[in-house]
Amino acid sequence: MKAPVRVAVTGAAGQIGYSLLFRIASGEMLGKDQPVILQLLDLPQAQTAVKGVMMELEDCAFPLLAGMVATDDPEVAFKDVQVALLVGARPRSKGMERKDLLTANAEIFTVQGAALNKVADRNVKVLVVGNPANTNAYIAMKSAPDLNPKNFTAMLRLDHNRALSQLAAKTGKPVAAIEKLAVWGNHSPTMYADYRFATIDGQSVKDMINDHEWNRDVFLPTVGKRGAAIIEARGLSSAASAANAAIDHIRDWVLGTNGKWVTMGIPSDGSYGIPKDVMFGFPVTCENGEYKMVEGLEIDQFSRDCINVTLNELEEERAGVAHLLG
């Protein structure tokens, strides 16, 4: 039996938490042979609800669930964790843009970044889901100077999965057949889902679709505004699909992608003209617990324009929180 991995989940009493925890405990994230200890963080007023979720987790009798901790103290939740899913934040409600959430949530991520810096495992893999995810991940990274910045990531995988589904519907092919999709930039309507390199059974998806207007006027707005469409329809932001994307992100990072491209929000190393440290969606492959950016892709003018829009938004967000980072 492997030694258990300590996994922190913040916002454990929330709707994403409720879709996420049971799948982590059942082995869908780290493997069917990997025991886990769940370290659950939420606000003081949510502790009773967290206890309820823990009772349900117990009642599943998951063989891989080796322990659970509930707390409102980040330094307890993050103690020795090897994986940290930072979900807890204020979600967007009808009519709100992600930017409105910026300052409300920025403070949470300075505190949590500092706590990770102090008590987490030195190789902790951090995924920020709470919005605005890229900027929150940037704040957490900057608040944790003793940890490797590469270990802080933001969730673009939901955008990636949304784009895959739209492309599968358009081409009439199974999602699993689509390779080499990339999503650039911010987890927001400005993200640029780019299928210029994508293939299905070796054939170019761009050639199969061959419709620039569909790309610009239908595909990109559909993927970009999907979060708002779900809020409009459900009255609540996406939860099960977000939890699913978080599972995909960490599973691929830890267990590898076998050469397949996936999208992760990672601190830029300066590639593709994205300034160093900007937390940006890039195509990556994962192997041996590390991600590697897909390099050397050609960026045409349409793509450069789209990338600049999402980069400008991220730079504005970054400027908006600069005062909090000292």
Residue 318 binds to ligand NAD (criterion: CB under 6 A): no
Contact set for ligand NAD, span 285-314 (CB under 6 A): none
Pick the piece of the chain touching ligand NAD (CB under 6 A) from 54-62, 218-226, 236-244, 284-292: 236-244
Q: Name which of residues 145 to 174 contact ligand LMR (CB under 6 A).
A: 158
Q: How far is 17 from 19, CA to CA, in rounded Å?
A: 5
Query: What 8-state DSSP symbol labels residue 82?
Result: S
Closer by beta carbon to ligand LMR, 30 or else 158: 158
The answer to whether 144 and 152 have CB atoms below 8 angstroms apart is yes
**End-to-end Cα, the chain, rounded Å:** 45
CA-angle at 39, arms to 38 and 40, nearest 5°: 105
Out of ligand LMR, ligand NAD, none, what residue 204 binds, judged by CB under 5 to 8 A for its kind, is: none
Nearest distance in Å: CB 237, ligand LMR: 4
Minimum distance, C-beta of residue 187 to ligand NAD, in the bound complex (Å):
5
Residue from 139, 147, 242, 274 in contact with ligand NAD (CB under 6 A): 242
Q: Are 39 and 69 in contact (CB under 8 A)?
A: yes
CA 82 vs CA 36, 49, 222, 249: distances in Å? 10, 25, 35, 15
185 belongs to the binding site for ligand NAD (CB under 6 A): no
Residue with the shortest CB distance to ligand LMR: 227
Binding segment (CB under 6 A) for ligand NAD, from list 27-35, 130-138, 209-217, 272-280: 130-138
Task: Tell me the CA distances in angstroms from 285 to 50, 113, 190, 260, one per residue in order.
Answer: 35, 26, 23, 6
What backbone torsions phi and psi does residue 210 show, to the nearest 5 degrees?
A: 45, 50
Q: Which stretch binds ligand LMR (CB under 6 A): 114-122, 226-234, 245-253, 293-301?
A: 226-234
Please enumerate, by residue number, every residue annotated as part of a binding site for NAD(+): 11-17, 105, 112, 129-131
CA distances to 26, 66, 280 from 163, rounded to whole Å, are 27, 36, 17
Residue nearest to ligand NAD (CB): 14
Enumerate the known binding-site residues for substrate.
92, 98, 131, 162
Three-state DSSP class for 10?
A: strand
Listed ranges 51-59, 175-183, 227-235, 268-276: which one lies at the site for ligand LMR (CB under 6 A): 227-235
Residue of 185, 227, 267, 283 that binds ligand LMR (CB under 6 A): 227
d(Cα 127, Cα 246) in Å, to the nearest integer? 8
| Residue 133: partners with Cβ closer than 8 Å, 6 or more residues away | 154, 155, 156, 187, 265
Q: How far is the CB of 227 from ligand LMR (least distance, A)?
A: 2
Our finding on whether 21 is near ligand NAD (CB under 6 A) is no
Q: Is 40 in the site for ligand NAD (CB under 6 A)?
A: no
**How remote is the C-alpha of 229 from its chain's centroid?**
19
185 binds, among ligand NAD, ligand LMR, none (CB under 5 to 8 A by kind): none
C-alpha 323/C-alpha 325 separation (Å) is 5
**Which chain residues interact with ligand NAD by CB under 6 A?**
10-11, 13-17, 41-43, 46, 87-89, 91-92, 108, 129-131, 133, 155, 158, 187, 237-239, 242
